[in-house]
């Protein structure tokens, strides 16, 4: 079986696209900048979506749905917001064969339309907090699209909440960042660093943007999810007011937060290798594949039946549909093995005639290639343990790679020199938005975040020389 994957060291961008192709995750759509998510890719998204949806509901949020089309006048109400999104907007000007009196913007994000609805629903302090989430598609017209990472249309969730006080809204913003980080670390095995964005990288219209930044295998950064403290900007623009316990009129404090299908891109670029996709077991649609092997048709039928029996026992432990039996006996065993290896199945169980005679299977890990003979009777106990170890190992490997490619410098010249080599670079920074733009022009890198875990560290800004600057991470990014 041909590999059909460009080596990562030769052309990283093509390697990434080749992984998506051989793993059958997605394909380019006939609409410019859009993608078709294929069944395997969508199955991964459904698993990720279910994990986040459960966590949102456990924290008191409920799902709703809002319109795809937003009156263009809504975007004009929050000046910084419209300025930030105007270049990416797709606008509907005609419908039903006629020109519309007011154009509609195809949803780039929903703060405006949800703000308009919140203003109708919130009258009293008793109506708060209002905790809403929606799963939907959005459109942001991309000039340089890349499957999963940046496409004109993508799938995501966007949470929107309204609160009576600033403290409650800020606590909500940070809480949802924590929800994101926990799932990304524990289930997607991403080496997340939680931080707050600089002024130049902040969400348009927000007072603060918190982020989950991850390092992928070419040492660049990827923003995996964000949580925004919007203050009262959107509440004032859309008159989200309520009567407080003292009878006074107050503006609500709002938040918004979102993660999207770009997380799948992060997983691909963090864990995969030159042979194909590697998926953490907790988000793999197929966690285990059993491959019966025999040149004799009658014996193959016997082993296939046994493989299905073993699969049923494993599904009872791992969950329905999580174990598949490969009956492609028209293919050579090596090609069958490689087929599942390329598609990222975490664990392969080989069942040959000698294995069957010993009431055993040969297990092969996707992450390391390590092999182990397992007795049939011990599979319900050993297989989950192996999958747990794969999950843990992938996360630890990703974190070790991040740490090995993170550097700290104390001058602007050193910052530029290290950014030219790659990786994440830590330094103290207190520059303005204009300073950030100049640095980006010179280095193609941005402030990814001020890491929360090191928020108490202060020093001399490498760019301005100001004292009391906080520690920042600079990196080139996707």
Q: Are 97 and 220 in contact (CB under 8 A)?
A: no
* Residue position matching structure tokens 């092997």: 293
SS3 readout for 268-322: HHHHCECCECCCCHHHCCCCEEEEECCCCHHHHHHHHHHHHHHHHHHHHHHCCCC
Three-state DSSP at 463 gives: coil
248 CB-near residues (< 8 Å, 6+ apart): none
Task: Give the whole-angstrom CA distance, residue 70 versus residue 112.
Answer: 8
User: Is the pTM for the entire model greater than 0.85?
Assistant: yes
Strands 323-325 and 288-292: parallel
Walk me through the domains of the chain, giving residue ranges and CATH numbers: 12-271 (3.30.930.10), 288-386 (3.40.50.800), 406-475 (3.30.110.30)
29 CB-near residues (< 8 Å, 6+ apart): 35, 36
Strands (E), 207-277: 208-215, 221-231, 241-243, 249-251, 253-260
Cis amide leading into 112 (omega within 30): no
What angle, 0 to 180 degrees and rounded to 10, lies between the N-to-C axes of helices 262-271 and 39-58? Answer: 110
Closest by CA to 290, choosing from 230, 237, 221, 362, is 362
Q: Are 145 and 151 in contact (CB under 8 A)?
A: yes
Q: Are 102 and 71 in contact (CB under 8 A)?
A: yes
Task: Give the whole-angstrom CA distance, residue 189 versus residue 182.
Answer: 10
Give the burial class of 259: count Cβ atoms within 10 A of its Cβ; 0-12 exposed, 13-18 middle, 19 or more buried. buried
Long-range contacts of 383-389 (CB under 8 A, 24+ apart): 383/288, 383/314, 383/317, 383/318, 383/347, 383/349, 384/317, 384/318, 386/347, 387/281, 387/287, 387/288, 387/318, 387/346, 387/347, 388/281
Task: Give the whole-angstrom CA distance, residue 263 versus residue 154.
Answer: 11
Cα-based distances in Å from 60 to 111, 164, 175, 209: 20, 16, 12, 22
What angle, 0 to 180 degrees and rounded to 10, lies between the N-to-C axes of helices 262-271 and 12-22? Answer: 110
Q: Are 59 and 175 in contact (CB under 8 A)?
A: yes
* Residue position matching structure tokens 């600089």: 198
* pLDDT, tens digit only, all 478 positions of the chain: 456 899 999 999 999 999 999 999 999 999 989 999 999 999 999 999 999 999 999 999 999 999 999 999 998 886 666 676 777 899 999 999 999 999 999 999 999 999 999 999 999 999 999 999 999 999 998 888 999 999 999 999 999 999 999 999 999 999 999 999 999 999 999 999 999 999 999 998 899 999 999 999 999 999 999 999 999 999 999 999 999 999 999 999 999 999 999 999 999 999 999 999 999 999 999 999 999 999 999 999 999 999 999 999 999 999 999 999 999 999 999 999 999 999 999 999 999 999 999 999 999 999 999 999 999 999 999 999 999 999 999 999 999 999 999 999 999 999 999 999 999 999 999 999 999 999 999 999 999 999 999 999 999 999 999 999 999 999 999 9
pLDDT reported for residue 333: 95
């Amino acid at each position: 079986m041909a590999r059909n994957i460009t080596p990562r060291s030769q052309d990283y961008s093509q390697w990434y696209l080749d992984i998506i192709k051989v793993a059958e995750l997605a394909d380019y759509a006939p609409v410019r900048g859009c993608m078709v998510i294929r069944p395997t890719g969508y199955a991964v998204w459904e698993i990720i979506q279910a994990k986040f949806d459960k966590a949102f509901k456990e924290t008191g949020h409920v799902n709703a749905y809002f319109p795809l089309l937003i009156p263009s006048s809504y975007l004009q109400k929050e000046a910084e917001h419209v300025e930030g999104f105007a270049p990416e907007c797709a606008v509907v000007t005609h419908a039903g064969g006629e020109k519309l009196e007011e154009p509609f913007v195809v949803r780039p994000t929903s703060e405006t339309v949800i703000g308009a609805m919140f203003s109708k629903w919130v009258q009293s302090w008793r109506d708060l907090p209002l905790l809403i989430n929606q799963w939907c598609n959005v459109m942001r017209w991309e000039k340089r699209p890349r499957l999963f990472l940046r496409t004109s249309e993508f799938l995501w969730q966007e949470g929107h909440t309204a609160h009576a006080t600033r403290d409650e809204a800020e606590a909500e913003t940070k809480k949802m960042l924590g929800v994101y980080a926990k799932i990304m670390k524990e289930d997607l095995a991403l080496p997340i660093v939680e931080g707050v964005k600089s002024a130049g990288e902040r969400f348009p219209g927000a007072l603060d943007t918190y982020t989950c930044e991850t390092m992928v295998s070419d040492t660049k950064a990827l923003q995996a999810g964000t949580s925004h403290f919007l203050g009262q900007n959107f509440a004032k623009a859309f008159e989200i007011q309520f009567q407080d316990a003292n009878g006074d009129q107050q503006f609500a404090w709002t938040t918004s937060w979102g993660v999207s299908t770009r997380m799948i891109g992060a997983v691909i670029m963090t864990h995969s290798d030159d042979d194909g996709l590697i998926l953490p077991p907790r988000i793999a649609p197929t966690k285990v594949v059993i491959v019966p092997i025999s040149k004799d048709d009658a014996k193959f039928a016997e082993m296939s039946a046994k493989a299905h029996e073993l699969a049923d026992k494993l599904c009872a432990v791992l969950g329905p549909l999580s174990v598949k039996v490969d009956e492609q006996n028209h293919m050579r065993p090596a090609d069958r093995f490689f087929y599942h290896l390329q598609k990222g199945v975490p664990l392969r169980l080989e069942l040959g005639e000698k294995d069957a005679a010993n009431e055993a299977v040969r297990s092969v890990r996707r992450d390391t290639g390590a092999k182990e003979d397992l007795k049939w009777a011990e599979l319900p106990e050993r297989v989950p343990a192996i999958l747990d170890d794969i999950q843990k190992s992938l996360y630890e490997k990703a974190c070790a790679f991040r740490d090995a490619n993170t550097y700290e410098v104390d001058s602007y010249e050193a910052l530029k020199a290290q950014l030219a080599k790659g990786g994440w670079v830590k330094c103290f920074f207190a520059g303005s938005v204009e300073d950030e733009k100049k640095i980006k022009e010179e280095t193609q890198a941005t402030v990814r975040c001020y890491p929360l875990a090191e928020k108490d560290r202060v020093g001399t800004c490498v760019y301005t020389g100001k004292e009391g600057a906080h520690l920042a991470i600079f990196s080139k990014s996707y």
